[in-house]
Amino acid sequence: MVPDPPHSFELPPGKSLSRAIGEKIVPMENVLLNVSHYLMFAYSDSRRALERIEDEEARQLLMHGLRAMQIAWGQADALALAVERTSQHPEH
């Protein structure tokens, strides 16, 4: 799996997203916001798919996955906001 960098940043050839974050080429808060946005899209699309599933067992599995996605999305969003605040006010 190759992670997709935030769309406003180009990774130098041969540089991984992890390295680019560590070297501050790509700001961590931008990556966290990107994660949060992708989780929102995945949740929304999966929620619409859930409405069309008639098999109860499949519905339950997808509902459990959606709940896990909601938790991850909430934590990623909170982390993104905390990192953004810290980078704006490094003394705190």
pLDDT digits (tens, 9 = 90+) for 39-67: 888 899 999 999 999 999 999 999 999 99
Distance CA 70, CA 64 (A): 10
Mean pLDDT of 19-40: 84
| Long-range contacts formed by 24-33: CB under 8 A, 24+ apart | 27/87, 28/83, 28/87, 29/80, 29/83, 29/84, 29/87, 30/6, 31/5, 31/6, 32/76, 32/79, 32/80, 32/83, 33/6, 33/80
pLDDT band, very low/low/confident/very high, at 1 (cuts 50, 70, 90): very low
What predicted TM-score, i.e. pTM, was given to this entire model? 0.67
Distance CA 57, CA 77 (A): 30
pLDDT digits (tens, 9 = 90+) for 6-17: 556 677 788 788
